[in-house]
Amino acid sequence: MDQNRLRELLEQVKEGAMDVNAALERMRHLPFEDLGFAKVDHHRELRHGMPEVVLAKGKTPQQVAAIAERLLENSANVLITRADPACAAEVERQCPGAEYFPLSGTLRFWRERTIQGKGIIAVVSAGTSDIFVAEEAQVTAETMGNRVDTVHDIGVAGIHRLMHNRERLTAARVVVVCAGMEGALPSAVGGLVSCPVIAVPTSVGYGASFHGLAALLGMLNSCASNVTVVNIDNGFGAGYVASLINRL
Amino acid sequence: MDQNRLRELLEQVKEGAMDVNAALERMRHLPFEDLGFAKVDHHRELRHGMPEVVLAKGKTPQQVAAIAERLLENSANVLITRADPACAAEVERQCPGAEYFPLSGTLRFWRERTIQGKGIIAVVSAGTSDIFVAEEAQVTAETMGNRVDTVHDIGVAGIHRLMHNRERLTAARVVVVCAGMEGALPSAVGGLVSCPVIAVPTSVGYGASFHGLAALLGMLNSCASNVTVVNIDNGFGAGYVASLINRL
Amino acid sequence: MDQNRLRELLEQVKEGAMDVNAALERMRHLPFEDLGFAKVDHHRELRHGMPEVVLAKGKTPQQVAAIAERLLENSANVLITRADPACAAEVERQCPGAEYFPLSGTLRFWRERTIQGKGIIAVVSAGTSDIFVAEEAQVTAETMGNRVDTVHDIGVAGIHRLMHNRERLTAARVVVVCAGMEGALPSAVGGLVSCPVIAVPTSVGYGASFHGLAALLGMLNSCASNVTVVNIDNGFGAGYVASLINRL
Amino acid sequence: MDQNRLRELLEQVKEGAMDVNAALERMRHLPFEDLGFAKVDHHRELRHGMPEVVLAKGKTPQQVAAIAERLLENSANVLITRADPACAAEVERQCPGAEYFPLSGTLRFWRERTIQGKGIIAVVSAGTSDIFVAEEAQVTAETMGNRVDTVHDIGVAGIHRLMHNRERLTAARVVVVCAGMEGALPSAVGGLVSCPVIAVPTSVGYGASFHGLAALLGMLNSCASNVTVVNIDNGFGAGYVASLINRL
Amino acid sequence: MDQNRLRELLEQVKEGAMDVNAALERMRHLPFEDLGFAKVDHHRELRHGMPEVVLAKGKTPQQVAAIAERLLENSANVLITRADPACAAEVERQCPGAEYFPLSGTLRFWRERTIQGKGIIAVVSAGTSDIFVAEEAQVTAETMGNRVDTVHDIGVAGIHRLMHNRERLTAARVVVVCAGMEGALPSAVGGLVSCPVIAVPTSVGYGASFHGLAALLGMLNSCASNVTVVNIDNGFGAGYVASLINRL
Amino acid sequence: MDQNRLRELLEQVKEGAMDVNAALERMRHLPFEDLGFAKVDHHRELRHGMPEVVLAKGKTPQQVAAIAERLLENSANVLITRADPACAAEVERQCPGAEYFPLSGTLRFWRERTIQGKGIIAVVSAGTSDIFVAEEAQVTAETMGNRVDTVHDIGVAGIHRLMHNRERLTAARVVVVCAGMEGALPSAVGGLVSCPVIAVPTSVGYGASFHGLAALLGMLNSCASNVTVVNIDNGFGAGYVASLINRL
Amino acid sequence: MDQNRLRELLEQVKEGAMDVNAALERMRHLPFEDLGFAKVDHHRELRHGMPEVVLAKGKTPQQVAAIAERLLENSANVLITRADPACAAEVERQCPGAEYFPLSGTLRFWRERTIQGKGIIAVVSAGTSDIFVAEEAQVTAETMGNRVDTVHDIGVAGIHRLMHNRERLTAARVVVVCAGMEGALPSAVGGLVSCPVIAVPTSVGYGASFHGLAALLGMLNSCASNVTVVNIDNGFGAGYVASLINRL
Amino acid sequence: MDQNRLRELLEQVKEGAMDVNAALERMRHLPFEDLGFAKVDHHRELRHGMPEVVLAKGKTPQQVAAIAERLLENSANVLITRADPACAAEVERQCPGAEYFPLSGTLRFWRERTIQGKGIIAVVSAGTSDIFVAEEAQVTAETMGNRVDTVHDIGVAGIHRLMHNRERLTAARVVVVCAGMEGALPSAVGGLVSCPVIAVPTSVGYGASFHGLAALLGMLNSCASNVTVVNIDNGFGAGYVASLINRL
């Protein structure tokens, strides 16, 4: 496409419809706009075919709200992750219509709800304490246009629970598995299903869990070959990649 | 399917065609066989629709050869990873017909070559020194029935090289990116393409690369949302998951 | 017992059968003897009711052989761990009658074979590559007078293999589980059995396994409550504690 | 037992007392029930012969109280660990009758007090600051039906204190040792007693203690062979395994 | 110069204009003065040709204000870094005339504004969340007498943004690049420009970013040869060295 | 002395002045007393010839006050370290007469002030921010009966300051050096003086100082041979060992 | 320049001297050529004004020689780093005329020796064992066209040696400081000179030096503000950046 | 003394016996000489009153021999540490008369054997495998003019061995304790003696000992207040500081 616009431009130059300086100028004019503190890239939706996403952590509520407002002018769906209640309140004040998930701190504007994924994305958590991450994955995948099936509290220390849910897992086209502590669930799930498994280590645990490091290392060393890994607590990333795969 | 076989069994019990003890015995009879030191699982091909894979590292050449021999009786394609030349020689002695890739230590029996992947898998390396990992990913994906396009030496410190190959990358359905040192290439590729990117940190580097830890951490923290990560030097895992995704 | 010997001594002093200086001297005379470079403690067998054990690593073959020779004068059974072939050869030269297990480097003199354990100790490995550690646990437990049941290659990525061996596991009074890579097997086994599980992380793996650290952390964070952990590759320690428990 | 129920089922199918679909349904009907956010497993008591345990950390007071309420319907004894005062208050509000130990944050319902352990479990702490962990081990072991002997403040830098308590330690059937800082006490205790020692590193210390890592590493490297280790501050796990051993 | 003052002194001794004891005394009299808790070194301005700098972190507001007051007697420009609002308020109370930058906590007295740098220093940030570090670099470089061009939010996952700003980057004589998460931007910038690049890892991120460690390791392993690195979040250091280079 | 008391005891047994049971009992009666939560060891003063010391961290104000009260019955001098203001207030309430140093949180009862050290102990800090640790060392050494000379803010980045204080350093019999950040001062001091240098890494710094780890590693690797190291922020330990050395 | 070539191209299109497709083709034709396993970038010399550099580590001698041969066709000077003797021999065989420095494994083709740096680059090492890194920096800086002054063995534990060389250091325009163990020298040098200091941690040391990590952390935490850091043992990077600065 | 020489110089200048330039020259003439690759500092013996020491590791045998030869011209005693047999042979070839200790790789020229220490230095090892470090400490302390008492193999897991040697330990003026694995011995020894204890972690162990890190952390966190620590395997440093203390 860029290819085509470039060709068009060159044709205009050739035909004298545009002079060289103007052409140079146009070629430099890339499709994003400047808010001063953040380059908002409206074309990301085109490039990735996905709604806009804002990571609230590390930004002030005002910054988040300003970015959200600008994004909503061009995007039907906007997802804001890691928003604490104060941030959520500020965004809601400036841009009404969001849905807030306090467990994970996710805030979404979901105005366009076409199903785009071809199958089901299963989002699994090992324990009750891991749900805050699983929720981020679930909300992300839903907002990206997928049917999501969530299964909670099926950790490996009670394998019969896992086996009990085997059919729901094998019915999925992609599985997201969230687990803290020893992080063993993705390996067990990976052995049960034949589709891609995206493992999300969570910071759940204490002592030698080192804030999710134990789970992260466990998942990276999974002996199940169909497992890939994202950052600790990165439910969003897992839901995002699962959505990409489910559209294929 | 297990479901069906179970139902069948119960029907036979109901009809008196099989007695209870025999039924119990059959239900316990699972489809794998015992070599003494390793349970060979012939059904993995069914479950995952993939050839058999053996990790040679940590096994003696004799163990690897024995496993390979048994697998070849039931599988058209067998992939042996991390085989040093001595191991490769022993396998070849017992089971002729393999192809050996010394850079990565991959050995493959590739007797069934149907293309099963729907698109192209791009396998990218940041530098010449990362090719030993990229090769493992490439051979894996090929043997799994995919068309593979390899692009080497396009690290981020020379961004024009990356831009030059942009079209080949965007033509792929999945991209595998192998990079050591700072491991920045997956983020840059992830920003260029809209498909899933599987990042493989390599142990290439010295000093504060800590045998691939720097690259691993970099990739886990990628600001591109379409990136997932596998273990350091795990070209096989990346090729395997890429193949799963490419079949969807 | 020391209590009694002390009382006896005091009685002798009281009765004048021993003078004060001699008594002081005797009280200082503790039951070990001095080889110059190592205090050999013959009473350890009494205290712990267990054969003598020598860690060969970090000692010269000559040192190991000298210690072994002295121990064999007082102990029926002697176990030497981490002995490389050169060490094993030197010990055999000076003290014939040992049995050598090259995979784990264990060397044992097993002259007294009474069964002392009340039940069965199951020694489990996740993969073929973990057997070198499992063997150390097995040989230790056997030499300590236990019936041992070994089950290899039942890692969590193939849960049906684990389920298939469930009865053998539940038949054990203690289970030792050896696993490298993600080290998830102890959690799964811990959920299946109700007896104590001793987890042994192995150094099997590569990259982010960090020589067994990933497995170690995973096991320490096990969500199964009946799991305790020993050092990486410490099959001996696991077999030893399992033996202690099995005698209770 | 499952074996027997299965056989019974098959007999009923054979005799026509149950049709195939009903049998399949029953076989799928596993003994746990779904609260939505957590699978409560009433059969764990059967499997492990132990009261139910809830880890409060990472759950809201409401979630903990709801789980406790459901568990108390089927279990005489329920143990809630890592409950802060707010959580304890909420549980007490919904389910009166608990005993709260604020130092360790343990909350227990102890309605069935039969002694089930065969001997004494000694719970030892190295310093006054480690008692918060020792208390968790002690309460766990008591609630599991054991006689517990606690010995505090006998760290290795005052060996005469340890020697002074030698007889109490040797009288135990299992010893739990809690220590922070250098974590040396388990080795010293391990050398004095001949029974299994369960070492619990505590997060007590500062600077290079790295929140218990120093103690953890020390214990994993213990030169006493009868020592196994649980996670940092995991008094519960130590008390639990000690209880399992003490029932053997 | 010291050389010259020493020669002068010796000349005076030779000529009898100064006696030996006085000379010894003078030679010991170094140019700093003692506040009790901190040696204020007025000559640093001479030695480095730079304003005085105070790190407020770890000092009480009163200590900072006292040091600032003394420094302002001899220096036109004083820079105080890592000052929280309370500290800033106390300094302003005692020494009016400062400018406070709350994002980075920088406080400056900028009374002498001669441009001393020969070219432009570009200060670049990868994301909005990194600006708090970039601001510290910017304020430092400005106060040191440089023209500064700041470019925010041009991380590698959107390479076209980086390319769009290529000319501003290549116009600079030194570039400071602040990035958290995977820390890949310095490599990409380093490949675009031919001048020295000073990389500042920021603590922005979560999970496996380990408070900036991932970015730090990434930058140290940069495959761009023109990159050097300073401590995590050390915007001041980067601005300082950039100023030194820009004066050459 | 124990030797002598034992001999005396045996003589009494021999002479019939004490019966065997009483002798056994006396031999078991060791000189410490039981507060329930802490064994207070009055003989430590005899053994080490030093006042009693209490680490307040990890104990409640009430526990600290109770221990202090008991200790003051037998010891002239009591030192309480890491006491926050609330703890200090509670101790003062129960046991008036203490002196509180809020910077380091040290509380001392100093009723016996004989000088026992043979020379001067120099306590040096690299920067103003390190004084909180240096103060703990200083107060400890003073209370232990030493003349202390403190020199602050002479870090290696201003070597002339260090050289300026060279004579005070060489006048000392032992030097304690407290430094955070790069922790380089002990090496420089170690090269200037010929007496033992005790290095105390402090947690001062940010980013890659990792709470004192950088300074700790630096000091352990000092190329000055006369340097030994204590834990991060352990001013007390440094002052204590310096006192032991200064009495020799 | 690219700008100009682009304008020229557009002018030709405008004038009909080149058709659109040819123009598009030319624009895609970037100035590097494909060796199959490595993109050789002849324009790097233009972009950076520096000779070509090859990192031999991780490449076969044959790969290095092939790259060198191609580079020498376009570049007067080629620098090969981390070349072991076998690699050096192979390169010399194919491309005579190189100079080999075995201590650092540096190989250079130095056919164009114009001095391009404006001042002197001082390359300093803390100890004899650090020279292998300093040599890499020195050879790099020389080949880049600089006058280099090397000063060895002036570590901080002998400060008078450092002071003795003060004048040589202050005469330099940039200083490269190589140090292992505690890595304190850059701070001390940084305090003496007012120019930029590039610190190179070396892997020299043992035990808690952790292969250069201690030195690296020390340098990153330097309290001297004019210090930036490169990777462990990266003498090349330090020499390269020093050369860039010295040309300004 | 430098003070005096300086005064003398100034007097000569005053009296005209020396002109200013000559005085400047003399003041710059510091007492070390230049071998090209190492500044040999003959005055270190004066400053520290100790023999010369050379760390052979990281130097070629030729470099070590050259340094040794030069040192022996001015020093009666020279100690070379970490010399492998090849290095030892080369030194012996050039400078006959050395004594070689192959376990620790220590080589000494001991021509002046006056006893300078006031008491006994005890050098203790926890196990046979730690002797290689203890030997380095012992040889160092002997060569520095001390009476040394060595006690081997008294680790904490056999406390009666330690108690058995209590008197030898309390007879010492300083104690050096070498221990690997959990590194608990220094705490236990520290509690028994009242003199300074220098702890040397050794790299003995495997798995989670992480090459001595576990022992190092344990010792830094010792709850015995009289313990300071040196680098892993640094027997020399411990022996050196013990010698300094023993001369006081």
- Reduced to 3 states (helix: H, G, I; strand: E, B; else coil), residue B52 is strand
**Strand (E) or helix (H) holding B200:** strand B197-201
Residues 6+ apart with CB under 8 A from F54: F64, F67, F68, F71, F78, F79, F80, F81
Would you say H208 and C216 are in contact if contact means Cβ atoms under 8 Å apart? yes
Chain-chain contact of C20 with F6 (C-beta, under 8 angstroms): no
Chain-chain contact of B208 with E214 (C-beta, under 8 angstroms): no
Given CB atoms, is A216 within the 8 Å cutoff of chain B? Answer: yes
Burial C80-105 (b: 16+ CB within 10 A, else e): bbbbeeebbebbbeebeebebbeebb
pLDDT band at D11 (very low <50, low <70, confident <90, very high): confident
pLDDT of residue H26: 61
Q: Which of A150-164, C11-25, D118-132, F169-183 has the lowest mean pLDDT?
A: C11-25
**Of E26 and D244, more confident:** D244
Give, in order, the Cα–Cα distances in Å from D233 to each of D208, D243, E204, H168: 17, 18, 30, 38
Chain-chain contact of A159 with C159 (C-beta, under 8 angstroms): yes
pLDDT of residue C158: 83
- Sort residue D36 into left (φ over 0), alpha (ψ -120 to 50) or beta: left
pLDDT of residue A40: 46
Rounded CA gap, A107 and B27, in Å? 49
pLDDT band at F3 (very low <50, low <70, confident <90, very high): very low
Given CB atoms, is F223 within the 8 Å cutoff of chain G? Answer: yes
**Of C225 and D22, more confident:** C225
C197-201 and C227-229 as β-strands: parallel, antiparallel, unpaired? parallel
pLDDT band at H2 (very low <50, low <70, confident <90, very high): very low
Chain-chain contact of H244 with F173 (C-beta, under 8 angstroms): no
Given CB atoms, is H26 within the 8 Å cutoff of chain G? Answer: no
pLDDT of residue E11: 80
DSSP secondary structure string for all residues of E122-160: EEEESSGGGHHHHHHHHHHHHHTT-EEEEE----GGGHH
Q: What is the mean pLDDT of chain D?
A: 86
Torsion of CA C46, C50, C52, C55, to 10 degrees: -130
Burial E119-144 (b: 16+ CB within 10 A, else e): ebbbbbbbbbbbbbbbbbbbbbbbbb
CB atoms within 10 A of CB G35: 15
Count of pairs with CB atoms under 8 A, one residue in D, one in F: 54
Structure tokens at H98: 């050395």
Phi and psi at residue C32, to the nearest 5°: -140, 165
Given CB atoms, is D18 within the 8 Å cutoff of chain B? Answer: no
Task: Give residue-wise pLDDT tens across range G74-90.
Answer: 788 999 999 999 999 99
What is the percent of chain H where pLDDT is above 70? 86
Mean local confidence (pLDDT), D155-166 = 85
DSSP secondary structure string for all residues of H54-88: EE-TTS-HHHHHHHHHHHHHH-SEEEEES--HHHH
Q: What are D150's strand-pairing partners? A: D123
Residues 6+ apart with CB under 8 A from A167: none
Given CB atoms, is A221 within the 8 Å cutoff of chain C? Answer: yes
Rounded CA gap, E81 and G223, in Å? 14
pLDDT of residue B24: 63
Task: Give residue-wise pLDDT tens across range D44-97.
Answer: 443 445 678 898 988 889 989 999 999 998 788 999 999 999 999 999 999 999
Would you say F202 and F179 are in contact if contact means Cβ atoms under 8 Å apart? yes
Residue F106 has pLDDT above 70, yes or no: yes
Given CB atoms, is C154 within the 8 Å cutoff of chain A? Answer: no
Q: What is the pTM of this model?
A: 0.85
Structure tokens at G207: 């035990």
Chain-chain contact of H57 with G129 (C-beta, under 8 angstroms): yes
Q: Which of D136-145, D148-157, H1-10 has the lowest mean pLDDT?
A: H1-10
pLDDT band at E5 (very low <50, low <70, confident <90, very high): low
Chain-chain contact of E28 with F128 (C-beta, under 8 angstroms): no
Rounded CA gap, H232 and H211, in Å? 8
The residues of chain A scoring below 70 in pLDDT are: 1-7, 24-50
A184 CA to centre of own chain:
23
Residues 6+ apart with CB under 8 A from F34: none
pLDDT of residue F12: 81
Rounded CA gap, H227 and H221, in Å? 9
Q: Which of A162-166, B69-73, B208-212, H15-19 has the lowest mean pLDDT?
A: H15-19
pLDDT band at G212 (very low <50, low <70, confident <90, very high): very high
Given CB atoms, is E220 within the 8 Å cutoff of chain B? Answer: yes
- Reduced to 3 states (helix: H, G, I; strand: E, B; else coil), residue G116 is coil
DSSP secondary structure string for all residues of B57-93: TTS-HHHHHHHHHHHHHH-SEEEEES--HHHHHHHHH
Q: Do chains C and A touch (3 or more CB pairs under 8 A)?
A: yes
Rounded CA gap, C69 and C66, in Å? 5
Which residues 189-208 of D are in CB contact (within 8 Å) with F? 204, 206-208
Would you say E52 and E78 are in contact if contact means Cβ atoms under 8 Å apart? yes
**Of H47 and D175, more confident:** D175
Name the residue among G228, G241, G245 with its Cβ closest to that of E230. Answer: G228
Q: Which of C25-29, E136-140, F223-227 has the lowest mean pLDDT?
A: C25-29
Give, in order, the Cα–Cα distances in Å from E118 to each of E136, E174, E243: 21, 11, 10
C198 CA to centre of own chain:
12
pLDDT of residue A25: 58
Rounded CA gap, H56 and C231, in Å? 34
Rounded CA gap, G116 and G247, in Å? 6
Residue D35 has pLDDT above 70, yes or no: no
Residue F21 has pLDDT above 90, yes or no: no
Q: Which of B34-38, C183-187, E62-66, F109-113 has the lowest mean pLDDT?
A: B34-38
pLDDT of residue C1: 34
pLDDT band at E81 (very low <50, low <70, confident <90, very high): very high
Would you say E220 and B217 are in contact if contact means Cβ atoms under 8 Å apart? no
Mean local confidence (pLDDT), B66-88 = 92
Residue F28 has pLDDT above 90, yes or no: no
Q: Taking CA A92 as the corner, what is the angle to CA A90 and CA A94, rounded to the nearest 5 degrees? A: 70
Alpha-carbon distance F97 to nearest alpha carbon in chain C (angstroms): 46
Task: Give residue-wise pLDDT tens across range A40-96.
Answer: 444 444 344 467 889 898 888 998 999 999 989 878 899 999 999 999 999 999 999
pLDDT of residue A181: 93
Residue F79 has pLDDT above 90, yes or no: yes
**Which amino acid, residue G173?**
R
pLDDT of residue C120: 97
What is the percent of chain D where pLDDT is above 90? 63
Q: What are E52's strand-pairing partners? A: E78
Rounded CA gap, C94 and H90, in Å? 36
Nearest CA in chain B to G217: B208
Rounded CA gap, G45 and G79, in Å? 12
Given CB atoms, is F185 within the 8 Å cutoff of chain E? Answer: no
CB atoms within 10 A of CB C109: 23
Residue B222 has pLDDT above 90, yes or no: yes
Chain-chain contact of D128 with F38 (C-beta, under 8 angstroms): yes
Residue D12 has pLDDT above 70, yes or no: yes
The residue among H178, H183, H176, H199 whose CA lies nearest residue H125 is: H178
Phi and psi at residue E83, to the nearest 5°: -95, 120
Q: Which of A50-54, F63-67, G187-191 has the lowest mean pLDDT?
A: A50-54
Residues of H in contact with G158 (CB under 8 A): 39, 41, 44
Task: Give residue-wise pLDDT tens across range D98-114.
Answer: 999 999 999 999 998 98
B174-179 and B197-201 as β-strands: parallel, antiparallel, unpaired? parallel
Q: Which residue has the tokens 């920067």?
A: F127
Chain-chain contact of F220 with H226 (C-beta, under 8 angstroms): no
Residue G203 has pLDDT above 60, yes or no: yes
* Strand arrangement, sheet containing G52-55: G52-55, G77-81, G106-110, G99-101
pLDDT band at H74 (very low <50, low <70, confident <90, very high): confident
Given CB atoms, is F136 within the 8 Å cutoff of chain D? Answer: no
Given CB atoms, is H158 within the 8 Å cutoff of chain C? Answer: yes
Task: Give residue-wise pLDDT tens across range F123-170.
Answer: 999 998 899 999 999 999 999 999 999 999 998 888 888 988 988 999
Chain-chain contact of A182 with C181 (C-beta, under 8 angstroms): no
Structure tokens at B111: 């007797």
Chain-chain contact of C231 with H207 (C-beta, under 8 angstroms): yes
Rounded CA gap, H130 and E185, in Å? 48
Chain-chain contact of C30 with H164 (C-beta, under 8 angstroms): yes
Q: Do chains B and F touch (3 or more CB pairs under 8 A)?
A: no
Residue D116 has pLDDT above 80, yes or no: yes
Residues of B in contact with G213 (CB under 8 A): 208
Task: Give residue-wise pLDDT tens across range B7-34.
Answer: 677 788 888 888 777 776 565 443 444 4
CB atoms within 10 A of CB B116: 14
CB atoms within 10 A of CB A7: 14
Touching G (3+ Cβ pairs <8 A), the chains are: A, B, E, F, H
Mean local confidence (pLDDT), E3-24 = 72
Rounded CA gap, C234 and D229, in Å? 12
Residues of B in contact with C127 (CB under 8 A): 38
pLDDT band at F46 (very low <50, low <70, confident <90, very high): very low
Length of chain C: 248
Residues of B in contact with G37 (CB under 8 A): 128, 131, 152-153
Structure tokens at E228: 């050097």
What is the percent of chain B where pLDDT is above 90? 63
pLDDT of residue H6: 63
Q: Which of B220-224, F12-16, F235-239, G1-5 has the lowest mean pLDDT?
A: G1-5
**Of A127 and H228, more confident:** H228
Burial of C26 (0-12, 13-18, 19+ CB in 10 A): middle
ipTM here: 0.81
Rounded CA gap, E204 and E189, in Å? 19
Burial B159-184 (b: 16+ CB within 10 A, else e): bbbbbbbeebbeebbbbbbbbbbbbb
Task: Give residue-wise pLDDT tens across range C103-152.
Answer: 999 999 999 898 989 999 999 999 988 999 999 999 999 999 999 999 99
Name the residue among E39, E55, E231 with its Cβ closest to that of F153. Answer: E39
CB atoms within 10 A of CB F93: 10
pLDDT of residue H41: 46
Residues of B in contact with E221 (CB under 8 A): 181-183, 205, 207-209, 214-215
Rounded CA gap, C69 and C96, in Å? 10
Nearest CA in chain C to D167: C3
Q: What are F174's strand-pairing partners? A: F121
Q: Which residue has the tokens 């070839």?
A: H93
Rounded CA gap, C84 and E125, in Å? 56
Phi and psi at residue C183, to the nearest 5°: 60, 35
Chain-chain contact of C128 with B57 (C-beta, under 8 angstroms): no
Nearest CA in chain B to A1: B167
